[in-house]
Structure 1
Amino acid sequence: MTRLIYNTATTLDGYLADDSDSLEWLFAVPGAAEAESSFPAFLEGIGAMVMGSTTYEWVYAHEGLAEHPERWRSAYGERFVLVLTSRALPVPAGAGVRLFSGAVREAWAELESAAAGRDVWVVGGGDVVGQFADAGLLDEIRVSIAPATLGSGKPLLPRVLGSDRLTLESVRQSGQFAELVYAVGRPA
């Protein structure tokens, strides 16, 4: 059964990115390479991905995809990626990226089909994940907490999810990061 998984890193005070949508704080954390060592195994179980336009635009710019579209495949392979956006965005040549404007519930059937029995990774951002949680489609949150604070920025998950919906499944240390995995129950 295809699950929808939010896998991300956050600061200790719960921010994904700073006020300028930058992730530079993440790259400055010592031991980040060790924390990423389990990522290839996670990615093997992913058949499709979904992200919001801000996350997509950051990846597009950060990876220099306008000049080097091949970098998309080296990072994400042949996976189908749905970008939730209300505007036209550039798409790297040869990438399986589709722009989508609409409710996440409408996108789910396409994501599930593209995943072909594997899981769907919600890359970000927090509001996109919140929309899936609101729709009762989010199954798991995997969050790696970094030893850094920002004071403000883009929140991890700008929604209220009570303890009645979140069940801690595992905790592990990976370098300087603490990885928490929560199962997410359906809304009442």
Structure 2
Amino acid sequence: MRTIYNTATTLNGYIADERNSLDWLFAVDDSVAPDQEEFLAGITVLVLGSTTYEWVVEHEHLITHPERWPGYFGRRPLFVFTTRELPVPAGADVRFVRGPVAQVLPRIQEAAGDGDAWLVGGGDLAGQLLDAGALDEVQLSVAPAALTGGAPVLPRAVGADRLRLRTVERFGQFAHLTYDVTPAG
């Protein structure tokens, strides 16, 4: 299993604003976007932090409209790192997990089988996976927007020796960057 952090970010490195909202992202024209179907073809499990999960569930009204769930996540298991009790849309395979990332990884790897894990968000969870040596790839869709604060894309000091740029693509207003993560020294 490879763990791929695929997210959108502002020019100045935020994935959500001060209210943990992604509304800034939906203001950007996304009529030309990467082929999500191709990306999802290799993804067998999803991983989210509780703030990202909660925002998506609330913003997309997935509790009152659980029929929308497959359109966002398919039938893949979704692991949510949280210490809180959160609602689950009817029919969704949501698995709440607690504790250090390294302790939960075997469960995620087992659920992934021969596929990959998509870390949907957030940045702190990406940092924890990086710290655990379990982050393999970072894909950033950089939007033409800036925020004055919020949730950083990766709240860690990461040297250029750890990230190797593999591809740069343009999708409308987004620059899509793909980095391979190399093991720590």
Which range, TM-score by smaller chain? over 0.9
**Structure 2 residue 37 is the aligned partner of structure 1 residue 40:** yes
**Structure 2 residue 23 is the aligned partner of structure 1 residue 57:** no
Deviation track 1:99-138 (CA, whole Å, cap 9, x = no partner) reads 1011111111111111121110001000000000000100
SS at match of 2:125: helix
**Structure 2 residue 2 is the aligned partner of structure 1 residue 3:** yes
Counterpart code for 2:152: P
Structure 2: gaps spanning 5 or more residues:
none
**Is the Cα–Cα contact under 8 Å of residues 50 and 81 in structure 1 kept in the other structure?**
yes
Structure 2 counterparts to residues 102-113 of structure 1, below 5 A: 102-113=99-110
**Structure 2 residue 10 is the aligned partner of structure 1 residue 26:** no
Count of aligned residue pairs for this structure pair: 185
CA distance in 1 between counterparts of 2:44 and 2:103 reads 18
CA distance in 2 between counterparts of 1:153 and 1:87 reads 21
Report the TM-score when normalising by structure 2: 0.97
* Residue 74 (structure 1) shift: 2.1
Q: Show the counterpart of 2:164.
A: 167
Percentage identity across paired residues of the two chains: 53
* Residue 151 (structure 1) shift: 1.8
Report the TM-score when normalising by structure 1: 0.96
**Structure 2 residue 157 is the aligned partner of structure 1 residue 187:** no
Alignment RMSD, CA only? 0.9
Structure 2 counterparts to residues 62-141 of structure 1, below 5 A: 62-141=59-138
Runs of 4+ in 1 over 3 A off after TM superposition: none
SS at match of 1:42: helix
Counterpart code for 1:34: V
Structure 1: gaps spanning 5 or more residues:
none
* Residue 63 (structure 1) shift: 1.0
